[in-house]
Amino acid sequence: MILKKSVKPALQLAYVKLMMDVIGRGLVMASQVDDEVRQEVAKFPANFVLSMKVFPHGPAFIAKVTDDHQLLLLNDTEQKPDLTITFKHLSHAFLVFSFQESTAQAFANDRMIADGDLSYAIRLVRCLNKMEALILPKLLAELAVKQYPHELSLKEKLTGAANIYLKVAQSYFKRSA
């Protein structure tokens, strides 16, 4: 809690915007390289649109499940997403993205709203948890997720993280080229 009060809103906004972009890209890339995330995404219907955002018009990402059950980031969409996870306030998103509160704890503390089918929201949270467990150092991942996967080997973690980070970096280069 001390960190939240010491960070100015403008810095919170910049940090949450960056993290929202990294998480969106990381989720897409995790769906390409991790079997568990791939299996979860395969259970979403084709053309399913999901988003995560900060209320009212804060940072966000939007992704769509393609016909071959891959996630694809969208710049914008005319249609209402099938599932939207909304942080009620920027400071709530900052708590989660700065690993002061897990996603599950943020839901329990009523800091987030799921607009859409709850089973899909749970599936999305499982995808986010696995991605975070892969890409974050174990100490941070244990703060970010409800339960760190004990069966996650160091080799799987390092390989998964390297593949996801490489693909995320490539996605930034493709965007700027």
Query: What are the structure tokens assigned to 9, written together?
Result: 């809103």
pLDDT tens digits, one per residue of 104-147: 888 889 999 999 999 999 999 999 989 989 988 888 888 788 78
Q: Considering the domain boundaries, does residue 33 fall inside one?
A: yes
Q: Considering the domain boundaries, does residue 43 fall inside one?
A: yes
Q: Considering the domain boundaries, does residue 174 fall inside one?
A: no
Write the CATH number for 42. Answer: 3.30.1050.10
* Number of domains, the chain: 1
Q: Considering the domain boundaries, does residue 56 fall inside one?
A: yes
Q: Containing domain of residue 32, as a range?
A: 2-169
Instruction: Report how far residue 56's alpha carbon sits from residue 10's, in angstroms, rounded to the nearest whole number.
Output: 16
Residue type, 49: V
Q: Considering the domain boundaries, does residue 30 fall inside one?
A: yes
Q: Considering the domain boundaries, does residue 176 fall inside one?
A: no
Instruction: Report how far residue 83's alpha carbon sits from residue 26's, in angstroms, rounded to the nearest whole number.
Output: 18
Instruction: Report how far residue 120's alpha carbon sits from residue 125's, in angstroms, rounded to the nearest whole number.
Output: 9
DSSP letter at 80? P
Q: Considering the domain boundaries, does residue 80 fall inside one?
A: yes
Q: Considering the domain boundaries, does residue 177 fall inside one?
A: no
pLDDT tens digits, one per residue of 37-95: 999 999 999 999 999 999 999 999 999 999 999 999 998 877 899 999 999 999 999 99
